[in-house]
Structure 1
Amino acid sequence: MVRGKTQMRRIENTTSRQVTFSKRRNGLLKKAFELSVLCDAEVALIIFSPNNKLYEFASSSMSRTIERYRDYVKEMQTPNSSCPEDVQHYQELAEGMAKQIELLEVSKRKILGQALESTTIEELLPIEEQLERSVCIIRARKMEVYDKQIQQLLSKERMLTTENAELNEKYQLQATKEAEERIDDFIVMENKDTSDVETDLFIGMQKSNIKN
């Protein structure tokens, strides 16, 4: 049997209205329960019947959910209530920053030597003083960088000198060792040559010169 489409208007028959309310109420409570379980959502549902009878469902605590709702509404309404004042404050802040930026741009152009045609002596003197201070700061920084580089070079020179001295010492030791080895080899060769020479030295008289 095909269900007919229900028209969204008040049911005039009291009995039919009560039956429909009971069915739809149970379905709505069931859907609220399923939503809280399946989606891990905090759900609170309050229903008052035409007879002023209360039906409710809460996934956790009805009072806690209502308090949470009130806090949320309060937080959402607080910015809106002060929104005009905030807008005015930010507008004034933006205007002040725009003026500061404009003054800085003018000062920058004057420092670079631009747009000085309408500048008076009173306006030029502070600019000159500022440039002199800037030059002094730049020179001091340059000398600081130079000193740092000189110290680094001196440290590198000391390190290279130490390494050179160590290498010379190693070279002298190696040269001395090689010279001693050559002397020892020469002495060994001399001793070997001397032991190979035969001598004709005889102690006593030769037999051929003895007379009977």
Structure 2
Amino acid sequence: MVRGKIEMKRIENATRRQVTFSKRRNGLLKKAYELSVLCDAEVAVIVFSQKNRLYEFSSSNMQKTIKQYHKHAKGALTKTTEVEQYMQQLKHESADMTKKIEILEASQRRLLGHDLDSCSAQELNQISSQLDRSLRIVRERKAQLFMEQIERVKAKERLLLGENAKLHTKCGSRPCQKPIVQEKGVGEASCNWMNSSPSSRSQTISNSDQVETRLFIGPPVMRCE
């Protein structure tokens, strides 16, 4: 026959309460003994009755077990205290960071020209000085970047000139040059033409119109001496 579920509450009848205490106490101590033997565990049980009578069981030594319990309980309490202190520290740091963020956001809005109505003349002067310093730093950085870019372009130019010279040396030729030299007789012919009569000039122009010209389509040919 299956017993019904027992309601967990204080037994009002003193006789029944005493009988139940004796049965369950013996069962508890028996289970503690079985646990210590089967699982090779260190088990200690302390029970005080309603009349303040002591009942105990220990698989080894009760005092040793109690000392070990106090040691672990103290360590757990210390860890709990450390965790609580750490949490409090994190809360304070979080509050400080929130205040710093609010201050930085307000400063950023003022640097962008917002919320300036509540600023005093001294604060406005500080904001103006800070903007001037920031602008000077930006310009210096910009000039530095330009100089670095120019140096890179110059280095690339030197590299290309060196490669060009190597190619000409390998091909057995020298780099092409285009000296600005006036051809022989050109200056003299120009002066004679300017000093000649109008009829002679017309004759010269008519003769130059008879010069044969040819149209060449294609890439330019570089001629080197």
Q: TM-score with structure 2 length normalisation?
A: 0.49
**Structure with more helix by fraction:** 1
Aligned counterparts, 1:170-189, within 5 A: 170-172=170-172
Q: Quick one: distance in 2 between partners of 1:68 and 1:148?
A: 67
Secondary structure in 2 matching 1:54: strand
Distance 2:23 2:115 in 1: 88
- Name the counterpart of 2:178: none
Cα separation, 2, equivalents of 1:70 and 1:149: 68
Shift of 1:32: 6.2
Aligned residue for 1:113, secondary structure, equals coil
Alignment CA distance shift 1:3-1:25 (3 Å): farther
Report sequence identity in percent.
23
Paired letter, 2:31: G
Residue 54 (structure 1) aligned with residue 53 (structure 2): no
Query: What is the CA distance between 1:5 and its match in structure 2?
Result: 4.7
Does 1:124 pair with 2:121?
A: no
2:3 corresponds to which residue?
4
Structure 1 gaps of 5+ residues are: 174-212
Q: Which residue of 2 aligns with 1:94?
A: 95
Alpha-carbon distance, 1:48 to partner: 3.9
Task: Give 1:144 deviation, angstroms.
Answer: 1.3
Q: What TM-score, normalized by structure 1, do the two folds share?
A: 0.51
CA 1:148–1:32: 2 relative to 1, 3 Å: farther
- Count, aligned residues: 159
Correspondence 1:150 to 2:150? yes
Query: Secondary structure of 1:139's partner?
Result: helix
- 1:27 is matched with 31
1:136 corresponds in structure 2 to 136
Q: Distance between the aligned counterparts of 1:168 and 1:79, measured in 2?
A: 78
| Structure-2 separation of matches of 1:107 and 1:15 | 78
Q: Is the 8 A contact 1:45 1:56 kept in 2?
A: yes
Higher mean C-alpha deviation, range 8-17 or range 116-125: 8-17
Q: Could you tell me how far apart the structure 1 residues matched to 2:104 and 2:45 are?
A: 62
Match of 1:161 in 2: 161
Q: CA 1:45–1:156 in 2, change beyond 3 Å: closer, same or farther? A: farther
1:71 is aligned to: 75
C-alpha displacement of 1:150: 1.9
